[in-house]
Amino acid sequence: MESTTLADLRPGKCAVITGFADENVPLKLLEMGLLPDNEVCVKGWAPLKDPIHIVVAGYEIALRKDEAKFVLVVPVNIEAQLEI
């Protein structure tokens, strides 16, 4: 699977976090549990396609695409087990 960023992951898709784009990654992302090797699923996009709504480590957070761009992911082939 090709590497991409969390901002490009479509709603309903899941991915595994591989790392961060650069060291200016907002610390808050890490504090909120967006850490390498964790699985992240995109639950949806806001009505105007930004911010995005994700599920990570069993809970849900919203973040802007500008922040999501820092998170490098590899999509996994299982469809999100989300009730969208």
Partner 1 sequence: MKIALVGNPNTGKTTLFNKLTGLNQKVGNYPGITVDKKVGYFKLESGKNIQLIDLPGTYSLNASAKDEEIVTEALSNKNFIEYPEAVIVVADATNLKRNLLLFTQVLDLKLPCVLVLNMSDVAIKRGIDVDVLKMAQKFGVPVVSINARKGLGVDELKSVLEKPLSPPVQQVFKPLEINAEFVEKAKSVLHSDSNYSAWLIANTPNFAFITEHEEQELNKIRKALNINTQRNKVSETVARYGFIDNIIKECVSKKETKYSSFTGKLDAILTHKIWGFFIFIAILLLIFQAIFSWSEWPMELIDNLFGTASTWVLSVFPEGPVANLLADGIIPGIAGVVIFIPQIAILFAFIALLEETGYMSRVVYIMDKIMRQFGLNGKSVVPLLSGMACAIPAVMATRSISNFKERLITILVTPFMTCSARLPVYTILIALVIPNTKYFGFMNLQGMVLLSLYLFGFVMAILSAVVFNKILKSAHVSQLIMEMPPYKVPHWRNVILTIVEKVKSFVFTAGKIIVAISIVLWALASYGPGNRREVAIQQIEVQAADNNWNEETKNLHLMSAKLENSYMGIFGKSIEPVIKPLGYDWKIGIALIASFAAREVFVGTMATIYSVGEEGDPAQGVKAQMAKDVDLETNQPRFTFAVAVSLLIFYALAMQCMSTIAVVYRETKGWKWPLIQFGFMTGLAYLLSFLAYQFLK
Nearer to partner 1, 15 or 63 (CB): 63
Least distance from C-beta 15 to partner 1, angstroms? 18
Nearest to 15 by CA among 77, 84, 83, 82: 77
Six-digit token pair at 18?
Answer: 């591989």
Q: Determine, following the binding rule CB under 8 A, whether residue 63 of this chain makes contact with partner 1.
A: yes
Residues in 15-34 at the binding interface with partner 1, rule: CB under 8 A: 23-33
Which range binds partner 1 by CB under 8 A, 8-16, 49-57, 71-79? 49-57
Q: How far apart are CA 6 and CA 8, in angstroms?
A: 5
Q: How far apart are CA 14 and CA 82, in angstroms?
A: 10
- Residue pair 18/73 in contact by the 8 Å Cβ criterion: yes
Where does this chain bind partner 1 (CB under 8 A)? 23-33, 35, 43-44, 46-51, 53, 57-64, 66-67, 81-84
